[in-house]
Structure 1
Amino acid sequence: MGVFDGDAMIGYSSAAHKPLAEGVHRVVVSGGVRPDRRRQGLGTELLAAGIAAARVLHADHHPGLELAVDVQNNALNDGARACYDRAGMTPVRWYSHLRHPLGDAVVDVPMPGGCVVEGYGADNDAEFLAVRNESYADRWAGVPMPSEQWRALLGWPAFRPAHSFLARDTGSGAAAGVLLTFSWDADARAAGVRDAQVMTIGTLRAHRGRGIASALISRALRSVRDDGYDGAGVEVDAGSPSAVHGLYERAGFALSRTEVRYTLEDRPADRRPG
């Protein structure tokens, strides 16, 4: 939903459900209020609307599961944190947003022996999805992405297939790791900086420890650098093993900001009609 002052939008709220869920159905609520209209109660109303929408989506798609309503924001946003506190939400996860300056800071890491890299294409699209789903299975809140959602994700104008790569094991011929890159033109116009974002990266468990992820990151960074991008970013779950952060630090990434995931665990007795 949106809040307007005349023709100008001053705030919005949205809720996105998971088509597939196991045990707990997590619905992510997003929103924001224009800076000059904050501290007027709009954020509280929009969050309440988002939670109500999450309950409707849950009842429609996964009524037999527990519901968790998630929001995420900058750790330094005190106004947002107060809004979440009033709604009964608690912090459950921290995420590091890392940025790479590109240029000479890009580290050249070759594919390990027994692997080759190839770009994204229609012929390996299904393998990209299969590796994404299997590699995300052991992550916090990781659930499979159905093909319809995958098609919608790659249908975004922000998807950059020319900077997305797959690692293939030459012995078995099977895909071993993938990386997807996105970039938003509107953000570039607003900020005057064109950054690429690593949105998906995963290596199958059987191929971890070979250096595939490092090589995929290096390949993507070289690709966006050569295409004239100003920087690259990635979001890392701070609850992941420290080796994950080390992977990006060795590649030349540095911390840009920290975000916090807040959750409202919705008990059946708490639910109200949408």
Structure 2
Amino acid sequence: MATVEPAATLAPIAERAAAPARLPEITAGDLTWRPATVADAPALLELHNTIAAADGVPDREVLDEVTDLFDAPWRRFDTDTLLGFDAAGRLRAEGWVETPPGDVRTLRVFLDGGVHPDRRGEGIGRELFAWQVARGRQVMAESGKELPARLAVFTDDDVPAAKLRLYERAGFTPCRYYADLRRDLRDLESAPLPDVPLDGSLRIVPFSTELDEAARLAHNDAFRDHWGSEPKSPEQWTHSRACFVPRWSHLVVDDDPDVEALLADPRTDDETAAALRAGEPLVVGYAMNELFEGDFTTRGYTFGYTAILGTRKAYRGRKAGLAALVASMRSFAEDGMEYACLGVDTANPSGAHGLYAHVGYTLAYGSRLLSIEL
């Protein structure tokens, strides 16, 4: 696993980033390059799904997922995206560079992109990735954030070997592994879901917009001790919901929290403390779920997907997360979904693996994060 030097001993970010003054040109493949716009969404959708099919990746996107990318106010498409078109005007390659705006512990810059299968082997991917890495270093230097920094790229375990070699030649090494899990919901009589009673003043409720901000605060608290996680701003939290299914999502609230004890608890963050003083609702556990109909055919089954699941640190051990997860699984089954699916960091510190195994989840496939730590 990669390690990060303590922030107090780090050189200035502008020095560590070693950003080039000019970005490298891309000449391979004789493509025409320009930034992405929302009008490119249909072409991007076709490219994404063509690449996924060629690489044996079971995920497929729908148009709303792609157009949703362009709604994020922090994304800088004019400087941080690049699309390559052939002489006939067909999209043949894409490169994206993004840094989440809310990072306060580690400055992260994520790289994403790909080349159409028909145009691989021409050096396009190598030159495009060099551009992404160079632009990523510029983004870091421009950030002014004096934090540990990470250039990162996600990939499925079954990605073509050539793509892994590309990343490794550029200096990226695996730093985290993830497991995609699933639970069969087709015969709940022989494999029933457990009942999860909640104690004290805890109560499970359906997701609602009125509790959305309280759920964000719960998420930021729950994931403070998770590797690679950073606080989500309100804009980040409500973004990328093209596939979000509110009726499948569930929250656990504390109707009578011990406000004085929570305010005195050093684990209580400033935003939560302000909400408690204002008498706002306290969400202590949550499961936010999504529907990816485009993946049903490639996976061979229907499913509901738990995108994020968590429990506030002060409430761990009281089954809030488990209650929200099981309620989600019941919602999937009631809508005729054959499986419940989710993804988990294999080194998750909260005991999540035991929880998932307890309710019948098993491994479907895996992915990894490769990075350069600065």
Which TM-score applies when normalising by structure 2?
0.64
Q: Which residue of 1 aligns with 2:193?
A: 107
Tell me if 1:200 matches 2:285: no
Residues 104-183 of structure 1: matches in 2 within 5 Å? 104=187, 105=191, 107-114=193-200, 115-153=202-240, 156-172=241-257, 174-183=282-291
1:220 CA displacement: 0.4
More RCO (CA 8 Å, sep 6+): 1
CA distance in structure 2 between the aligned counterparts of 1:195 and 1:7, rounded to whole angstroms: 37
Query: CA contact under 8 A between 2:290 and 2:306: conserved in structure 1?
Result: yes
Tell me if 1:261 matches 2:366: no
Give unpaired runs (5+ residues) of structure 1: 267-274
1:121 CA displacement: 1.1
Inter-CA distance 241–143: structure 2 relative to 1 (3 Å threshold): closer
Larger Rg: 2
1:73 CA displacement: 1.0
Higher alpha-carbon deviation: 30-39 or 125-134: 30-39
Query: CA contact under 8 A between 2:156 and 2:367: conserved in structure 1?
Result: yes
CA distance in structure 2 between the aligned counterparts of 1:150 and 1:120, rounded to whole angstroms: 14
Over the aligned positions, Cα root-mean-square deviation in angstroms equals 2.3
Inter-CA distance 79–180: structure 2 relative to 1 (3 Å threshold): same
CA distance in structure 2 between the aligned counterparts of 1:174 and 1:150, rounded to whole angstroms: 17
1:131 CA displacement: 0.1
CA distance in structure 2 between the aligned counterparts of 1:144 and 1:45, rounded to whole angstroms: 33
Following TM superposition, the consecutive aligned residue runs of length 4 or more in structure 1 with deviations greater than 4 angstroms are 188-193
Q: Which residue of 2 aligns with 1:70?
A: 152
CA distance in structure 1 between the aligned counterparts of 2:336 and 2:101, rounded to whole angstroms: 36
1:46 CA displacement: 2.9
Higher alpha-carbon deviation: 229-238 or 107-116: 107-116
1:190 CA displacement: 6.3
The equivalent position to 2:131 in structure 1, one of 19, 30, 49, is 49
1:181 CA displacement: 0.7
C-alpha offsets along residues 41-92 of structure 1, whole Å, 9 cap, x if unaligned? 3332332232233234334434533431111112232222111111111111
Secondary structure of the residue aligned to 1:58 is helix
CA distance in structure 2 between the aligned counterparts of 1:118 and 1:38, rounded to whole angstroms: 50
Q: Which residue of 1 aligns with 2:85?
A: 4
The equivalent position to 1:19 in structure 2, one of 89, 101, 105, is 101
1:192 CA displacement: 6.5
Structure 1 vs Structure 2: percent identity of aligned residues? 28
Which TM-score applies when normalising by structure 1?
0.86
Q: Which residue of 2 aligns with 1:234?
A: 342
C-alpha offsets along residues 127-151 of structure 1, whole Å, 9 cap, x if unaligned? 1111011111111022111112122
Amino acid aligned to 2:85? F
The equivalent position to 2:177 in structure 1, one of 73, 83, 94, is 94
Higher alpha-carbon deviation: 257-266 or 127-136: 257-266
Query: CA contact under 8 A between 2:105 and 2:230: conserved in structure 1?
Result: no
C-alpha offsets along residues 65-122 of structure 1, whole Å, 9 cap, x if unaligned? 3431111112232222111111111111111111223222551332422321111112
Query: CA contact under 8 A between 2:304 and 2:340: conserved in structure 1?
Result: yes
1:124 CA displacement: 0.7
C-alpha offsets along residues 153-199 of structure 1, whole Å, 9 cap, x if unaligned? 3xx22111111111112442732111111223444476674432211
Amino acid aligned to 1:215? A
Query: CA contact under 8 A between 2:104 and 2:231: conserved in structure 1?
Result: no
Query: CA contact under 8 A between 1:106 and 1:222: conserved in structure 2?
Result: no
CA distance in structure 1 between the aligned counterparts of 2:359 and 2:90, rounded to whole angstroms: 42
Query: CA contact under 8 A between 2:306 and 2:340: conserved in structure 1?
Result: yes
Greater percentage in strand:
1
Q: Which residue of 1 aligns with 2:17?
A: none
Query: CA contact under 8 A between 1:163 and 1:181: conserved in structure 2?
Result: yes
Tell me if 1:184 matches 2:292: yes
CA distance in structure 2 between the aligned counterparts of 1:75 and 1:239, rounded to whole angstroms: 16
CA distance in structure 2 between the aligned counterparts of 1:131 and 1:242, rounded to whole angstroms: 15
